[in-house]
Amino acid sequence: MVQIDLPYILDFYPQESEEQTQIHKFFTNLKSGKLTTTKCTKCGTVLWQPRIVCRECLSDELEWIDLPTTGKLYAFTQVNAGAAITLEKDVPFCIGVVELDDVGIKILSRIDNAKYEDLDFDMPVKMKVVENEDGRVMYRFEPVK
Ligand SMILES: [Zn+2]
């Protein structure tokens, strides 16, 4: 198999190491199965996606908090064409907006292990962690069976 190094801008997955991003802890936590984000210790705003500065009060005093790994499907569709360059081989696949239980945060995610016809609004879903060949990780959601 030929390994092609993609230019950074064409790489679908974010760089995850401490040298490359100040939210590297998100990926470290994800590797252990935890979905986390940052919360402002000044004004209490829970930020999604995780950030290093609060969008409400501009404080950089943030703490890491755990988020639920379960939720309900708020919206969904099927990707038939035009997928990101590393995902073309997976077409067709489903993506959706998941509203996390308890916190109400909405997360855009790939939806695995279901066909479009199987999906429905408010369907319970749970997070799974997918690891790339190079060790980087990303979350996806799948229906609760
Ligand atoms: Zn704040």
pLDDT at 84: 77
Distance (Å) from CA 62 to ligand 1 centroid: 8
Residue extent(s) of CATH 2.40.50 domains in the chain: 68-145
Using the mean position of ligand 1's atoms as its centre, give its distance from the Cα of residue 113 in Å.
37
Full DSSP string of 40-89: ETTT-PEESS--SS-TTT----EEEEEE-SEEEEEEEEEE-S---GGGGG
pTM (predicted TM-score): 0.88
Neighbours of 11 (CB within 10 A): 15
Q: Please give the CATH topology (third level) of the domain spanning 68-145.
A: OB fold (Dihydrolipoamide Acetyltransferase, E2P) (2.40.50)
CA distances from 51 to 36, 43, 67, 126 (A): 11, 14, 15, 23
Distance 100 CA to ligand 1 centre (A): 21
Q: How close is the Cα of 60 to the center of ligand 1, in Å?
A: 8
Tens digit of each residue's pLDDT, the chain (145 residues): 666 666 666 666 778 888 889 999 999 999 999 999 999 999 999 999 999 999 999 999 999 999 999 999 999 999 999 887 777 889 999 999 999 999 989 999 999 999 999 999 999 999 999 998 888 999 999 999 8
